Amino acid sequence: MRLSDMEIGDKGEVTGLKVDGAVKRRIMDMGLIKGTRFKVLRVAPLGDPMEIFFKGLYLTLRRQEAEGVNVQKIGGVGDGQPMTGGKRNRWKWGVRP
């Protein structure tokens, strides 16, 4: 399955990249590598561009770039599955973790 085929709210995991050259390097530099879990947040009315969320980062990809990212769907909307393996703790004033 390709990233461009996913819909709003779908969760997935990257299984590989099929783009070449500078685009592949740029996508990998941003952290979208094999094994990365993500969630599709927004898709424009004509499907270009689309916004995904992973590792605390919001990334917008063009349809052409998203077609080169192979993914596996891991859940749906409201399935209760976390996108990351662990729970993130934040330090706040006066509260100890």
Tell me, what's the pLDDT at 51?
Answer: 92
pTM of the model: 0.69
Radius of gyration of the chain (CA): 15
| pLDDT tens over the chain, length 97 residues | 898 888 888 899 999 889 888 888 888 888 888 888 999 888 888 878 899 998 888 988 888 888 888 999 886 555 655 555 545 555 556 655 5
Give the chain's domains with CATH numbers. 3-57 (2.30.30.90)
Count the alpha carbons within 13 Å of 90 in the hemisphere toward its beta carbon. 2
Query: In terms of DSSP bridges, do strands 11-17 and 69-75 run parallel, antiparallel, or are they unpaired?
Result: antiparallel
